[in-house]
């Protein structure tokens, strides 16, 4: 059966006779359910650590949202993303001739995930979903699977020692009778302030938008999208979840466009609120006023929700988490119909201002994306579904650093981010409720116990995606790069539990943390050597002229000095030269490629002089920042300083200097990457 490893395995068996398929039972060491980004990384990790692994997904494509349109990566801190997650973004980078790339096209991401399958050698069962979980006491023995497209086909049974649920819905977890939560906790439950009902200003309607079919007449009924629910008391809990949407990939290249046409089921009345919103905002006549219209490589987009009425289908997903497969399919269909209708409406309805219509008509569906799905994403953005109630519940206090855990196996860093949960009438006006966006904190550890069920419920299951967190804490954790790190950590823990013959609850976390640190690529390749400006033992400024900047860097902050200001009234020998030196602490001998991270800020010097030394010789590099194009939520770029050999008895260093600078000089981070760890060149995935 191993010879059939790959994406076509399940389809091959179905195509070669039902009688043969009805006899198929898979017996593996590790079963990973959910072919999301976390699932692919988890399966790759488990297989590379020596365990027979199978990856199961109900759909036809791997990668979840990362290959489903979310190419403008939501990332609070690049330095917090480690291991195979960081490797993923480097492999994507190779496709764009860069060291790392956090902004990418859907097909590029999917190709990289498929390459993990090829290199990992694990089995993949596509179009296959969990039907039943068989347990012996508190241990899962096997799972029964059905064909996603035709449940009448014979079932398939997978027996494993360890199970990892990497699905966005937590179906394996739920069918294992593990406790979970749907909706928002009341603030008092975990001593939070941002959970529960929150009527705030984010992605909100301005005052004065009438909610009734006939303005001013409540008896006429509510326009589409507004519910009759009443506003609860601030901070009270409910079963409502934040809105879903599609992250829309469109193309501006005429040769790569499929025209946006009127979709089946089109109903222009669904967009009445948008008309009223546009009329109330005469100063806003661009698509980017009503969408987060992020530009992507290849002339494409990653379009996300913005403002009071946009791509979020608010309040239409409540039945999704616990819904049957058929109910979910209908909800997904409704979201697709709504979103395609919205795009068509903006380009064709006479009530939309001509300037917006003309701009919309410049875009089309990408001809080279999602070619087997009508050029439309295969993945609805399930921002939140079930959340396990595990050994430990992550809360707002963890995100804000007020409560710290010592069993961290990943770092969260993103804003506590909840999209709106309901659209209601408040004082005769339309209002969205539930949006929360609160950041301002540094990376925080995510507890191993948060991906582990209670011991009495399941001893051989890990849940790195629908993990144990409150609604508001989950809003920070739920980022694709973090899911990948958690998937790798879960797989490493599963292997350790098997090897030591213990439950997942009894895995020695300090050993797990150590293994993740020394074996970040799951192949026992030597780790990178990262030296950040915040590492005061190995990074040093020449004087106090260097100031800390807390936003826009690779890690939590970076350093900056402005020699043009300091030397303005000085001349000749009076002018002071400032330096910032990075010297790696861990100096494993070998050949490395050295990169320096340059955060892009206003007023940065066009040229930066950098010195690099292996402990014997000193070389100089002039880095040109003018014209450097940087995309993504963290505006910075790794720039190569060339190769360097680290010798056991010598101390290498990299130094930034203000010599020749005509603007601000920055010092952020330097990384030494073993040559053996570099992904292949573009085109070789």
| Location of structure tokens 């953005």 | 381
Q: What is the mean pLDDT of the chain?
A: 93
**Mean pLDDT across 273-285:** 98
pLDDT in tens, 88-115: 999 999 999 999 999 999 999 999 999 9
Categorize the per-residue pLDDT at 76 as very low, low, confident or very high, splitting at 50, 70 and 90. Answer: confident
Closest CA to 281 of 341, 207, 342: 207
Are 662 and 562 contacting, i.e. CB atoms less than 8 angstroms apart?
A: no
User: Can you say whether the dihedral through the CA atoms of 323, 324, 330, 332 is positive or negative?
Assistant: positive
Express each pLDDT in 515-525 by its tens digit.
999 999 999 98
Q: What is the pLDDT of residues 316-342, one digit of tens each?
A: 999 999 999 999 999 999 999 999 999
CB 164 within 8 A of CB 492: no
Range in 14-18, 41-45, 672-676 with the lowest mean pLDDT: 14-18
Distance CA 28, CA 53 (A): 6
pLDDT tens profile 419-457: 999 999 999 999 999 999 999 998 999 999 999 999 999
| Burial track 96-120 (b if 16+ CB lie within 10 A, e otherwise) | bebbbbbbbbbbbbbbbbbbbbeeb
DSSP state of 151: T
Region 626-639 average pLDDT: 72
609, β-bridge pairs: 622, 657
Residue 487 in 3-state DSSP?
Answer: helix
Q: How many CB atoms lie within 10 A of CB 558?
A: 27
Please say if the pLDDT value at position 13 is more than 50.
no
Region for 327 from its dihedrals, namely left if φ exceeds 0, alpha if ψ lies in -120 to 50, beta otherwise: alpha
Give the mean model confidence (pLDDT) for residues 11-20.
36
As a whole number of angstroms, the distance between CA 169 and CA 221 comes to 34
In this prediction, residue 634 has a pLDDT band, given cuts at 50, 70 and 90, of: low
For residues 364 and 260, the answer to whether their CB atoms sit within 8 Å is yes
Give the whole-angstrom CA distance, residue 258 versus residue 367.
6
Q: How far apart are CA 627 and CA 162, in angstroms?
A: 50
Between 592 and 15, residue with greater pLDDT: 592
CB atoms within 10 A of CB 40: 33
Query: Is a pLDDT exceeding 80 seen at residue 568?
Result: no
| pTM, rounded to two decimals | 0.94
Give phi and psi for 221, each to the nearest 5: 100, 170
Task: Compute the distance between CA of residue 44 and CA of residue 117 in angstroms, rounded to an integer.
Answer: 7
Residue 628, pLDDT score: 67
């Amino acid at each position: 059966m191993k010879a059939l490893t790959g994406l076509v395995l399940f389809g091959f068996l179905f195509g070669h006779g039902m009688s043969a398929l009805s006899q198929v039972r898979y017996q593996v060491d590790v079963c990973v359910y959910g072919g999301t980004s976390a699932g692919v990384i988890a399966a790759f990790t488990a297989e590379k650590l020596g365990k027979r692994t199978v990856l199961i997904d109900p759909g036809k494509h791997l990668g979840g949202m990362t290959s489903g349109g979310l190419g403008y990566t939501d990332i609070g801190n690049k330095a917090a993303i480690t291991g195979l997650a960081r490797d993923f973004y480097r492999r994507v980078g190779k496709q764009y001739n860069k060291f790392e790339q956090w902004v990418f096209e859907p097909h590029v991401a999917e190709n990289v995930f498929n390459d993990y399958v090829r290199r990992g050698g694990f089995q993949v069962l596509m179009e296959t979903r969990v039907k039943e979980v068989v347990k012996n006491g508190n241990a899962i023995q096997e799972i029964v699977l059905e064909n996603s497209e035709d449940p009448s086909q014979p079932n398939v049974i997978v027996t494993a020692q360890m199970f990892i649920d990497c699905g966005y819905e937590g179906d394996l977890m739920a069918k294992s009778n593990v406790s979970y939560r749907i909706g928002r906790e009341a603030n008092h439950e975990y001593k939070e302030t941002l959970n529960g009902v929150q009527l705030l200003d984010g992605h909100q309607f301005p005052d004065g938008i009438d909610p009734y079919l006939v303005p001013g007449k409540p008896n006429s009924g509510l326009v589409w999208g507004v519910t009759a629910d009443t506003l609860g008391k601030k901070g009270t809990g409910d079963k409502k979840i934040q809105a879903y949407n599609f992250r829309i990939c469109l193309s501006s290249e005429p040769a790569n466009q499929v025209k946006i046409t009127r979709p089946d089921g089109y109903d222009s009345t669904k967009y009445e609120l948008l008309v009223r919103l546009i009329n109330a905002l005469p100063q806003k006549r661009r698509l980017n006023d009503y969408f987060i219209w992020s530009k992507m490589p290849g002339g494409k987009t990653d379009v996300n929700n913005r403002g009071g009425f946009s791509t979020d289908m608010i309040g239409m997903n409540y039945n999704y988490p616990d819904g049957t497969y058929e109910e979910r399919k209908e909800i997904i269909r409704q979201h697709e119909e709504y979103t395609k209708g919205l795009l068509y409406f903006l380009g064709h309805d006479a009530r939309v201002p001509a300037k917006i219509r003309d701009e919309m008509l410049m875009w089309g569906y990408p001809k080279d994306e999602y070619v087997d799905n009508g050029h439309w994403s295969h993945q609805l953005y399930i921002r939140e579904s079930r959340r396990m109630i595990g050994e430990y519940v992550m809360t707002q206090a963890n995100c804000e650093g007020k409560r710290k855990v010592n069993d961290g196996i990943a770092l969260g860093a993103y804003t506590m981010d909840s999209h709106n949960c309901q659209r209601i009438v408040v004082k005769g006006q339309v209002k969205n409720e539930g949006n929360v966006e609160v950041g301002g904190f540094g990376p925080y550890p995510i507890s191993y116990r948060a991906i582990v069920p209670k011991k009495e419920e399941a001893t051989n299951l890990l849940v790195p995606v629908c993990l144990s967190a409150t609604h508001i804490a989950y809003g920070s954790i739920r980022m694709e790069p973090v899911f990948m790190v958690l998937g790798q950590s879960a797989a490493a823990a599963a292997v350790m539990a098997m090897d030591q013959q213990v439950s997942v609850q009894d895995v020695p976390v300090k050993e797990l943390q150590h293994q993740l640190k020394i074996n970040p690529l799951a192949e026992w390749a030597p780790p990178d050597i990262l030296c950040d400006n915040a590492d005061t033992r190995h990074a040093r400024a020449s004087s106090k002229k260097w100031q800390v900047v807390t936003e826009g860097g690779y890690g939590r902050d970076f350093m900056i000095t402005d020699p043009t200001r300091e030397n303005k009234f000085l001349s000749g020998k009076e002018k002071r030269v400032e330096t910032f030196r990075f010297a790696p602490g861990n100096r494993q001998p070998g050949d490395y490629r050295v990169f320096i991270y340059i955060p892009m800020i206003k007023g940065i010097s066009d040229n930066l002089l950098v010195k690099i030394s292996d402990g014997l010789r000193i070389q100089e590099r002039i880095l040109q920042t003018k014209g450097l194009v940087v995309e993504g939520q963290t505006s910075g770029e790794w720039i190569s300083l060339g190769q360097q050999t680290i010798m056991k008895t010598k101390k290498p260093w990299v130094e930034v200097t203000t010599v020749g600078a005509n603007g601000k000089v920055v010092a952020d981070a330097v990384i030494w990457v073993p040559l053996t760890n570099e992904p292949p060149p573009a085109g070789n995935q």
